[in-house]
Chain A
Amino acid sequence: MLKVEHVTKYYGDVLAVDDLSFEVKKGEIFGLLGVNGAGKTTTFRMITGLLDKNSGTITLDGKPIDYSITDKIGFLTEERSLLTKLTVKEQVIYYGILKGMKEKDILEKLDILLKRLHIEEYKERKIKELSKGNQQKVQFITAIINEPTLLILDEPFSGLDPINVELFMDVIRELKEKGTSIIFSSHRMEHVEMFCEKLVVLVRGKSVLAGNLKQIKKDYRKKNIHVEAEKLDITKLKQVKGVLDVIQNENEVIVKIASEENVNDVFDCVKTCKGVTKFVVEDATLNEIFLEKVGVMYENKM
């Protein structure tokens, strides 16, 4: 289990991470979200031991993180961290041995993973000759070759098409099933929603939202109502008490309401229309929650 407690990091006079605390249990996928410069990479660097923190503690399975346990950590960085002049095989051996593995074991696992990610034919090819997506696959392999206890994924789906995103997701879910603690960072909120059970949203190094994703969504008062009807009076809908906005899409209308208490008022309005085929109340998306939380913090800071 990874435990981050009251961690603070300054770069000179600039506060990069401010009293951050969270924990990631075994077999849990944790989301670390934030806009660019929020402190995500700094947090990852502190977890992997690349950066020293100014205060607080970070432990993995109860032990402070140092070079005696970094072999148990897998790290996929946002940028491609690959030695492009090496072949795929050489690169994976390179990082695998630095993770304390034996060459024989690396090669065995490499064959399995190359096959799993459909790039077995590139084993002897130089990394610089591969496409962006395939380079990302190689990077992913280097991060998981040691079957890590803690896996840090910083924008793992960058450069991947939807089919390969799904492929990655399957492998990540398998690792979760095996008990790997996974920290996941992405700007794509739908990916985070699909994966993470718990999350932290950082704004300028400070946690502005933290907890269980389901609970966060539940606690968030604003809801969305998806409506399909033949002749829906949008102007009338906008005048209903508690309606914040009405978005007209191709096949449906999304009514954004201030709280669950306003559902009945909207329903009363909609039922007067003809041909109502859909009326579904849903929690707000993570993207909406993120935008509001981060937006408010930005406004407050300005």
Chain B
Amino acid sequence: MKTKCKFLIKQSLKKKMSTKWFKIANLLVLILLIGILNIDRIISYFGGDFEEITKIYVIDEAESYPLFENNFNTLKDSLEDLGNYELENSSKTIEELKEDVKDTDDIILTIRLSDTEYLTADVASFNPIGMMTEQLLQTSLNTIKSYYVLEKTGISESEIASLTSNVSLNKEVTNPDVEENAEGKDLVSSGLILILIVPFFILITMLTQMIGAEINDEKSTRSMEIIISNVSPKMHFASKIIASTCFVLVQAFILVVDVAIAFGIRLLCTKTFAISEDTSMAIMDALNMVKNTGILNLLLKGLPIMLILFLFSFVLYAIVAGVLASMTTNIEDYQQLQTPLMILLLVGYYVAIMASTFDGAIFIKILSYIPMLSFLIAPVIFLLGQTTILELGLSTLICIVFTFIIFHYGLRIYKVGILNYSSQDLWKKIFKSVKEK
């Protein structure tokens, strides 16, 4: 009997993975991942106006150009990737400059003194200026206006510097469990976690599709009768669950390898073309940022439990999908019946996204214990530091117990469903089968 079960699993996996479509799909995924992880290179490769400099002609009627230039450049340098600007203190008239900036993105800035507002400015350009540029100009002008006002009151330069500098906040959190700079980490954590749960969402979708298609294929060709006359429905059901779970695990492994290849290609390109130290620095910064969030520590701590939770959730979804597939007689009906399952998956996904916003929400915590949702929510709120490892363990335990219960009762439906070809009195038959031992 074990040989038959192994054979059924092998056949299911072979049917799914020995096809050219499986190979093509994974090749496309690899190409896409390489593309996504190297998108900046690709964009640069095809060229564009990345190096274009926006010239700002300043007509200085307030004798504040040196101060403006200093502020503007400091601000521009502090904000990376803001764009390329070049300042010029112009002696031309506004009309002459308007002729000069015709058909360009250049800007004319006129700074003048005002009796009521101390300082005013006019901006003229051939094309509309961008939001970022406007913000940059505004902030720089605000700063020199403050200097101008304070200077008028007779305050010394060092006093002005002290006044205009930011107030330093010395933070102290008394909870010993909270790590340093926890606030800043949340944003990084939530972003990182979302990247981590998306593949699970995709894998579950693949799993339910696989098991549904297989069972419907066997039912619609009536080969189910021959199969079930030789192996028990329990074994058949188990083989489908094991095969589909193995399939998604293999698929997950392929995804990890794909990501590694994509990263490898990125690093290789960096070395080969010596593109810049900036890129390497950026990667190191990103890695350090991840490390600083403390997610890695939590991940390592909770990983064994999370893996068990993921595994049992895969099995649980496979059981439910198998039961639903057994009740239908063709793939179209199955796809319709599968919709609530997909919505449930989406609920889990969105709640997981919201977990970082609604820190400590009781509702989210309750949902993290509900099987079929827990695998998306419980690990996320654990990694965000909202629950303890014990609570993660409890979610896993509930999922395991629920999986066994669903298998027990689902098998009763499965036994009746796989040999049922009629939709007449379907739900009556299903409810009856659940009651029958």
Interface string of B1-31 (1 = CB under 8 A from A): 1011001100100010000000000000000
* B218 touching A67, Cβ below 8 Å: no
Asked if A50 is an interface residue, CB under 8 A from chain B, the answer is yes
Selecting from B68-76, B79-87, B227-235, B271-279, the interface stretch reads B227-235
A75 to chain B, nearest CB (A): 6
Q: Is residue A142 within 8 Å, beta carbon to beta carbon, of the partner chain?
A: yes
Bound together, the chains give a CA A77 to CA B11 distance in angstroms of 22
B-facing residues in A96-134 (Cβ within 8 Å): 97-100
Bound-complex Cα distance A84 to B226 (A): 14
Inter-chain contact B218/A83, CB cutoff 8 Å: yes
In the complex, are the beta carbons of B11 and A67 less than 8 A apart?
A: no
Cross-chain contact A95 with B226 (CB below 8 angstroms): yes
The size of the chain A interface, using a CB distance under 8 A, is 26
Q: Which residues of B contact A (CB under 8 A)?
A: 1, 3-4, 7-8, 11, 15, 217-218, 221-232, 419, 425
Is A188 engaged at the interface, CB distance under 8 Å to the other chain? no
Partner of A98, one of B222, B227, B419: B227
A75 touches B226 (CB 8 A): yes
**A79/B231 in contact, CB under 8 A:** no
| Beta-carbon contact of A50 and B419 below 8 Å | yes
- Closest-by-CB residue of A relative to B4 is A98
- A80 touching B1 by the CB < 8 A rule? no
Tell me the minimal C-beta distance from B231 to chain A in angstroms. 6
**Cα distance A80–B217 when bound, in Å?**
13
Choose among A48, A83, A142 the residue that contacts B221 (Cβ–Cβ < 8 A).
A83
Decide if A82 touches B225 in the complex (CB within 8 Å): no
- Interface contact A81-B11, CB-CB below 8 Å: no
Q: Contact: A84 with B4, CB < 8 Å?
A: no
Select from chain A the residue with minimum beta-carbon distance to B233.
A50
A50, A79, A100 interface centre (most CB from chain B within 10 Å): A50
Complexed CA–CA distance, A48 and B224 (Å):
13
Write the residues of chain A forming the contact surface with B, with a CB cutoff of 8 angstroms.
12, 45, 48-51, 67, 70-71, 73, 75, 77, 79-85, 94-95, 97-100, 142
| A98 engages B230 (CB within 8 Å) | yes
| Majority secondary structure, B binding face | helix
CB distance from A34 to the nearest CB of B (A): 19
How distant is B228 from chain A, measured CB to nearest CB, in Å? 6
CB pair B223–A75 under 8 Å, yes or no, is no
Instruction: Establish whether residues A81 and B7, one from each chain, have CB atoms under 8 Å apart when the complex forms.
Output: no
What are the residues of chain A within 8 A of B218 when measuring CB–CB? 83
Q: Are A82 and B223 in contact (CB under 8 A)?
A: yes
A1 and B148 CA atoms in complex are apart in Å by 112
A-B contact pairs, 27 of them (CB 8 A): A45-B419, A48-B225, A48-B229, A49-B229, A50-B228, A50-B419, A70-B230, A73-B229, A75-B225, A77-B222, A77-B225, A77-B226, A79-B222, A80-B221, A81-B223, A81-B224, A81-B225, A82-B221, A83-B218, A83-B223, A85-B15, A94-B11, A98-B7, A98-B230, A99-B230, A100-B3, A100-B4
- Bound CA span A84–B223, Å: 10
Pair A97/B7 contact, Cβ less than 8 Å? yes
Tell whether, in the assembled complex, residue B221 and residue A67 are in contact, meaning their CB atoms are under 8 Å apart. no
For the complex of A and B, the 4 pairs showing the least CB-CB separation, nearest first, are A98-B230, A48-B229, A81-B222, A79-B222
Residue among A12, A75, A84, A97 making CB contact with B229, cutoff 8 Å: A75
Q: B418 CB to closest chain A CB, in angstroms? A: 10
Q: Are A70 and B229 in contact (CB under 8 A)?
A: yes
Q: Give the chain B neighbours of A97 by CB distance below 8 A.
A: 3-4, 7
Could you tell me the distance between the alpha carbons of A83 and B7 in the complex, rounded to whole angstroms? 16
Known contacts A50-B419, A97-B7, A98-B4; is-contact A67 B232 (Cβ 8 Å): yes
CB distance from A277 to the nearest CB of B (A): 52
A98 to B223 Cα, complex, angstroms: 12
B9 to chain A, nearest CB (A): 12
Q: Distance in Å from the Cβ of B238 to the closest Cβ of chain A? A: 14
Q: Chain B residue with minimal CB distance to A94?
A: B11
Residues of A with C-beta under 8 A to B230:
67, 70-71, 95, 98-99
* Least distance between B413 CB and chain A CB atoms (Å): 15
Known: A97-B4, A99-B230. A50 touches B221 (CB 8 A): no
Among B8, B221, B228: residue with most chain A CB under 10 A: B221
Separation in Å of the B233 CB from the closest CB of chain A? 10
Residues from chain A with Cβ under 8 Å of B222 in the complex: 77, 79-81
Q: Return chain B residues, CB-CB under 8 Å to A50.
A: 225, 228-229, 419
Shortest CB-to-CB span from A247 to chain B, Å, is 40
For A71, the chain B residues whose CB sits under 8 A away are 230
Contact present for B1 and A142 (CB under 8 Å) = no
Distance of A100 Cα from B229 Cα, bound (Å): 12
Write out the residue numbers on chain A whose beta carbons fall within 8 Å of the beta carbon of B227. 98
Further 5 A-B residue pairs, CB within 8 A, beyond A45-B225, A50-B419, A67-B230: A45-B419, A80-B222, A82-B221, A83-B217, A98-B231
B14 CB to nearest chain A CB (Å): 9
Contact A84 B228 (CB under 8 A): no
Report the Cα distance A176→B159, complex, angstroms.
113
In the bound assembly, the distance between CA atoms of A80 and B218 in angstroms comes to 11
In the complex, A99→B229 CA distance in Å? 9
Which partner residue on chain A sits nearest B224 by CB separation?
A81
Closest to B415 in A: A52
- Could you tell me if B229 and A142 are in contact, using CB atoms closer than 8 angstroms? no
Nearest CB on B from A71, distance (A): 7
> Please, how many angstroms separate the alpha-carbon atoms of A48 and B229 in the complex?
6
A81 touches B226 (CB 8 A): yes
B contact residues around A95 at 8 Å (CB)? 226, 230
